[in-house]
A and B are shown apart, each in its own frame.
Chain A
Amino acid sequence: MPDDLKKRVKELIVRQLKLEMDPATIADEAPLFGDADGGLGLDSIDALELVLGVEKEFGIKVQDEEVGVKAFASVNALCDFVREKAA
């Protein structure tokens, strides 16, 4: 079911941040934050929105900023984080 998780995470990102894009176009390894090539260019306010979205979608709380920065580095990183917390 790993592809299902990636799909859910990408849909969560687009829905929670009200992005006008197809979730499928978000690359698995692309950086979500900053202006790096191919990244989404999200900022700290977006990070908080993602924290709230992950809490609502997966029931996982992210209270530490350092954990959040690591977990939201990319779609793959966020999937790893969700799997780890759900295990």
Chain B
Amino acid sequence: MDFQPLPHAFPFRFADGVIERTGPAEGRVRATVTADAAAVRENGFPAAALAELVAQSALLLEGGDAALGRKGFLAGISDFKVERLPVPGDVLTVDVAIAGRLGDAVKFEGVVTDGEGGAVARGAVTVKKGLA
């Protein structure tokens, strides 16, 4: 399938694009951690950015709107566990599955792994569709 870029702009763009869709709002997203990313430059990749990465991945799979610039925002984090912080050069994959939705609030389960398949983080994020 065609590579689908996320509308978020650098430096607050962690997810690169969709690798595979496995169902409605479910699939796999790629995220390359570059040395010049603002999140990495000073204090390393912050743990909170991993939750944002899962949210961006979820919204990509939900149908990011490039014309609008953004389709939603991270509204909640639950049971989120970080195994290790990413470093420049990591090519991460984010597997996302929908847990539930009500109106414009959607909860997703996400699993972040590195290129070797090692665990990086897992947990749930809730996103709200629309503008903050």
Selected from B75, B100, B103, B104, the residue in CB contact (under 8 A) with A52 is B100
Majority SS at the chain A contact face: helix
Across the interface, do A51 and B128 meet the contact criterion of CB distance under 8 Å? no
- Beta-carbon contacts of A29-54 to B below 8 Å, as 1s and 0s? 00000000000000011011101100
- Is residue A55 within 8 Å, beta carbon to beta carbon, of the partner chain? yes
Across the interface, do B107 and A52 meet the contact criterion of CB distance under 8 Å? yes
Cβ–Cβ < 8 Å partners of A49 in chain B: 107
Cβ–Cβ < 8 Å partners of B123 in chain A: none
- Is residue B35 within 8 Å, beta carbon to beta carbon, of the partner chain? no
How far in angstroms is the closest Cβ of chain B from A56? Answer: 10
Cβ–Cβ < 8 Å partners of B75 in chain A: 45
- Is residue B102 within 8 Å, beta carbon to beta carbon, of the partner chain? yes
Cβ–Cβ < 8 Å partners of A47 in chain B: 102-103, 105
**CB-defined A-B contacts under 8 Å, sample of 19:** A44-B104, A44-B105, A45-B128, A47-B103, A47-B105, A48-B101, A48-B102, A48-B105, A48-B106, A48-B126, A49-B107, A51-B102, A52-B99, A52-B100, A55-B100, A62-B102, A65-B102, A65-B103, A68-B102
